[in-house]
Structure 1
Amino acid sequence: MTEHKGLPVEGYKAQPEHKVQAVNLNKRDEERVLRVLDELSKAPDVDQRWLAIGRAHIEQGYMAINRAIFRPSRISLPEDGAML
């Protein structure tokens, strides 16, 4: 099983291939939905405020799903070891 190196961001670790594939599939699905919303944003009879709210919720939903798959962890801070 291929293991992908983690992101250069604290809290993210190496991920197995099946998780990377799942997140990449989600990213493609999200992009398709966002392109539909891009087209809707050009329509003069669409409420742009509600469209923006819907878009933000869709983006947040995909982020939450991908975070559930990758399961980033909490990180240690420099002050964790310091005694006051």
Structure 2
Amino acid sequence: MVDNQHRQIKGYRDLSEQEIALMNDAKGKAADIGKLIDVLGEMPDIDKRWLAVAKTDLQKGFMSLVRAIARPESF
């Protein structure tokens, strides 16, 4: 593994301690929601189409949240 590999990727920057904590909090909440989606997916009476829409939209939402915290310098 390469130390400080984010420094070798264009558009990445160093994060503050607060940003790191917020990023980890957001990613933890996303993991919890992912587990809920998995549980709901096992239920026979759940509308799978809407569950898939929810999963995609929530993934996009959490990715947007992470990007809002990280503020990458690239597109």
TM-score > 0.5, shorter chain as reference: yes
TM-score by length of 1: 0.77
Partner of 1:37: 37
Structure 1, unmatched stretches of 5+, are 76-84
Evaluate the alpha carbon distance shift between residue 6 and residue 65 of structure 1 in structure 2; reply closer, same or farther with a 3 A threshold.
farther
Between Structure 1 and Structure 2, the one with more strand by share is 1
Task: Give the Cα separation in 2 of the matches to 1:6 and 1:28.
Answer: 22
**8 Å Cα contact 1:6-1:15 kept in structure 2:** no
**8 Å Cα contact 1:26-1:66 kept in structure 2:** yes
**8 Å Cα contact 1:12-1:73 kept in structure 2:** yes
Once the two structures are TM-superposed, the CA of residue 9 in structure 1 deviates from its matched residue by 2.5
TM-score by length of 2: 0.85
Aligned pairs, number: 71
Percentage of identical aligned residues: 30
Task: Give the Cα separation in 2 of the matches to 1:65 and 1:52.
Answer: 20
Structure 2, unmatched stretches of 5+, are none
Between Structure 1 and Structure 2, the one with more helix by share is 2
Partner of 1:61: 61
Q: Pick the structure with greater CA Rg.
A: 1
Higher relative contact order structure (alpha carbons within 8 Å, sequence separation ≥ 6)? 2
